[in-house]
Amino acid sequence: MTRSIAGLTFATAALLYAQERIKAGLWENTVTAHGQSITRKSCLTDAELATTNGSIEAVRGAIAKMFAGTNGACTLKDLNIERNSMTSRTVCGASSSTTVMVFHGDTAKTTSTSTRAGAVTVTKIVGRRLGVCP
């Protein structure tokens, strides 16, 4: 789940150039969903964050690659970035999801709201960089 922060990050045409939105290093992320929370640590490298910190083309390419294995069931419907925040809307079959990410270099907050068969699930991820990887 922690690596999904790097993998599922989105950008828009408003920002066409790479920018350091989030820093590589040892991260602690707390994921809260369905009334339960779990905290995990992971090491994120510059290579893993290339999409998160990349141009809109890099982000769109990473999303297309990720969705390639879904045989067209998942599509990116909307993508936006303004300074340090990214918003996306995706549809996978009968499910839709809106994700908002806000980055401050050493911290990150994500809220994802998913709807399937009328049921709404909100997942929140709060991350903070602890330092360099061991």
Domain ranges of the chain: 3-131
Amino acid in position 17: Y
Check pLDDT > 80 for residue 6.
Answer: no
Contact 97, 114 (CB under 8 A): yes
Stretch 6-19: mean pLDDT: 38
What is the structure's pLDDT at 105?
A: 83
Q: What percent of the chain clears pLDDT 90, i.e. is strictly above it?
A: 54
Q: What percent of the chain clears pLDDT 70, i.e. is strictly above it?
A: 86
pLDDT bin (cut points 50, 70, 90) of residue 20 is: confident
pLDDT bin (cut points 50, 70, 90) of residue 17 is: very low
Check pLDDT > 80 for residue 14.
Answer: no
pTM across the whole model: 0.78
Check pLDDT > 70 for residue 16.
Answer: no
Stretch 4-21: mean pLDDT: 42
Span 50-79, pLDDT tens digits: 777 877 778 778 888 888 888 889 999 988
